[in-house]
Amino acid sequence: MEGSNAPVDPPLNEEKELRAEPNPTSGWTTFTWDEIGFTSLQVSDVFSGTIVTNQAIDPQSTSIQLDLTTLSGTFYSIRIEGEGKTPIYGRMIKANE
């Protein structure tokens, strides 16, 4: 069959995905990704563009926890980066407290 061996494009979220797993009980959110080598996480307020926090990441880690309840704003752009790495972006809405 023609096209039966054609590669299938993965869903957009399967490539270089930054996942957010909020814990409403504690207020902490765990951000996870698939590759080691990232060294910093930056959270910015989407509406103002203001950087609300920068966090160092252990380059051997694939996750970090943040307490979003302590940050200003409600809609964030999240970016992780590392030397020689393509940055990974995500977005997060802070739940109402």
Which domains occur in the chain, in start order?
35-97 (2.60.40)
Stated pTM of the model: 0.73
Mean pLDDT (whole number) for 4-13: 43
Q: Output the pLDDT for position 95.
A: 60
Count CB neighbours of 5 within 10 A. 6
58 pLDDT more than 60: yes
pLDDT tens, residue by residue, 11-57? 434 457 899 898 888 888 899 999 999 999 999 999 999 999 999 99
Mean pLDDT of the chain: 82
What letters, b where the CB count within 10 A reaches 16 and e where it falls short, cover 38-54? bebbbbbbeeeeeebbe
- Confidence band of 1 (pLDDT split at 50, 70, 90): very low
